[in-house]
Amino acid sequence: MSEENEEKTEEMKHYKEARNHFRTARNAMRHSIEAFIPPSVLENRRLARKEFLLGVRTLVDAAIETIDNSTKKS
């Protein structure tokens, strides 16, 4: 392996390690905050997120259907 490739590999190793630390910190922070929030609020938030994603799915399905219909008419 060339010296340049070795440097890039070493650099990527540092980025991956940093990302792992950030991910661990984020998860720890989230868990500490969630400890103060009642379970019913967390459940409501989960249901709201699901409804939002279902709405996005509906829009994507409608866009796909529009594309399919315009292709069939051409």
Claim to verify: residue 29 and residue 47 sit in the same structural domain: no
Claim to verify: residue 55 and residue 69 sit in the same structural domain: yes
Claim to verify: residue 55 and residue 66 sit in the same structural domain: yes
* Amino acid symbol at 11: E
Q: Residue 11: which domain range? A: 1-36
Claim to verify: residue 25 and residue 51 sit in the same structural domain: no
Claim to verify: residue 50 and residue 67 sit in the same structural domain: yes
Number of domains in the chain: 2
pTM of the model: 0.58
DSSP E strand boundaries for the chain? none
Claim to verify: residue 48 and residue 71 sit in the same structural domain: yes
Residues 36-64: tens digit of each pLDDT: 999 999 999 999 999 999 999 999 999 99
Claim to verify: residue 47 and residue 74 sit in the same structural domain: yes
